[in-house]
Amino acid sequence: MASHPDYPSESQSLIGVRNENGTNSSGKKCERWTIAAGVLIIVVAFSSYLLGLPKRSSSTTKEPLSDMSTEPLWPKFLSSQVLLYNERPANTSQAVALDWVKSDEPCEPTLGEPWLYKGRRGFNTSVTLYFTPEDGDVAGSLSGIEVDIYGYLEKNLVGTYFSEAKTSEDGTYHSLAVALRNSAKEDLCSKSAKRNVHDKYLAIAPGLKNEEIPAHNSSPLLGTWKEGSCIPGMGNHWFKDTVGGKNLSFKAENTVPIVPMYDNDGTIMAIFFLATSKKQNWAPGCDCLAEIRAPTPECLGTSNFWDPCEGLNQANKGLLYICNNLCGECDFTGSGATPGMYTTMHWFFNEQPQNFECVGSNRGPMSYCPSGLYPTLLP
C-alpha cells in the first residue's frame, strides 16, 4: 500500500515538531544479551522524550458520574503507539483540539458516534474513535476504538471479529472494534447515556462476536486466556486462541486479534490490535534502531497509527518478535507476510504508561516471565 505524504507523521514528535495527530508526548546467553543491548538502545534513545511528557492531573469524585457531568468517565486518559505514547482524545472536547472530526456516518448503536482524524478514512488514518453524544457544553465520552485493516487478514475471522469488506479511497478494508461502554445497558446514541466512572468495560467486536475482555485479572472470564509476559511500559499480556482458549495453537488464524494488558494490581491498562502481516509504512532498508536515534522523513516520517518500526518477526529471532509477548515455548505460524511478520497497535488507558515496571524483574527493559521460562531463540 502506498504511503500518503499529505497525511500526518506520527514520528514528528521525535524530532521536536508537534505532529498533526497530536503528540504528548531459552536461547544462547549471547543472543539474549544482544537483544537486551538493542532494547536498551531504544529505551535510552527515547528517555529524554518520555521524561518530557507533560503530567496530566487526575480527577477524583465521590459520586457516580454520567455523561451529563463535567467530570470525565473511564478512561480518563488515552494514548497510543508503544514508545511514542501519542496523546489521543478521551472526550469530544479533546477530539476537536487534536483535529478529530465527527463523521457524517450514522451513530453505531454498539459503539457510539464515529469521529475520524481530520475527517479522513484511509490506510494512514485507519482509526475511528467513538464517543457518546455531546450535550451542550458537556463533552461526549470515549465509547469505542475501531481499526480498519487493509490488505492481508485472517479471513476465517471475518464475521466474528472482523467486519465484512468495506471500501475507502485507499481500497478494501475490514474493521475490528473494541467497545468501551456496554450498549446492552445504555443507549450510546443518546444524550441520556449514564454509567459509573469506575465501571470499566471492554468488548471485542460488539456487533459480532461481542466477547467481553475482563477489566481485572481476577475475573473468571480470564480463565480462558493465557497469561503472557510482562513488558515495561506496556503491561502484563494475555492471549487467547479461538479454538483452544488458553491452550494456544500459535496459529495466526486462531489467535484472537486483541491482546489485553494489565497493571501490577490486575487492572486493565492497555490493549493492542494484532495484525498478522506488515501494516506500518516501513520502507525496505530503513533500520529501526537507526531511525529511533536519528529519525528521517523517508522512514519514520511516513509512519501511520500502527506501532513504529517494521513489526514483530514470526520467528524467534532479532530484536522484535511476536513470542516476546509470551512465556515458555512459543512458535507462531501462519503470518500473511514473507518472511513472517506481525504488527501491533497499542492503546493505553492510564496516565504515564511509560512508567510501568514489572514487579520482580531484574531484566531491565526486556520482557519478564516470573516462571523463568522464555521462548527458545533461533540463531
Q: Average pLDDT for residues 299-316, to the nearest whole number?
A: 90
End-to-end Cα spacing for the chain: 31
Q: Quickly count: other Cβ atoms within 10 Å of residue 168's Cβ.
A: 15
Q: Quickly count: other Cβ atoms within 10 Å of residue 138's Cβ.
A: 18
Distance between CA 177 and CA 206 in Å, rounded?
A: 7
Per-residue pLDDT at 197: 57
CA-CA-CA-CA torsion sign (11, 275, 235, 117): positive
Prediction pTM value: 0.83
List C-alpha distances in Å: 379 to 223, 316, 338.
35, 9, 18
Question: Which tens digit of pLDDT belongs to each residue from 248-292?
Answer: 999 999 999 999 999 999 999 999 999 999 999 888 888 877 776
Question: Which amino acid is located at 347 in the chain?
Answer: W
Binning pLDDT at 50, 70 and 90, where does residue 300 land?
confident
Q: Average pLDDT for residues 83-99, to the nearest whole number?
A: 95
Of residues 65 and 221, more confidence is placed in 221
What SS3 state is found at 202? strand
Question: Which tens digit of pLDDT belongs to each residue from 343-354?
Answer: 999 999 999 999
Q: Quick check: 314 and 332 in contact, CB under 8 A?
A: yes
Binning pLDDT at 50, 70 and 90, where does residue 40 land?
very low
Element spanning 312, H or E = strand 312-313
HSE, side-chain direction, 13 A CA sphere, residue 121: 22
* Least confident range of 87-101, 286-300, 352-366: 286-300
**In this model, does residue 19 exceed pLDDT 60?**
no
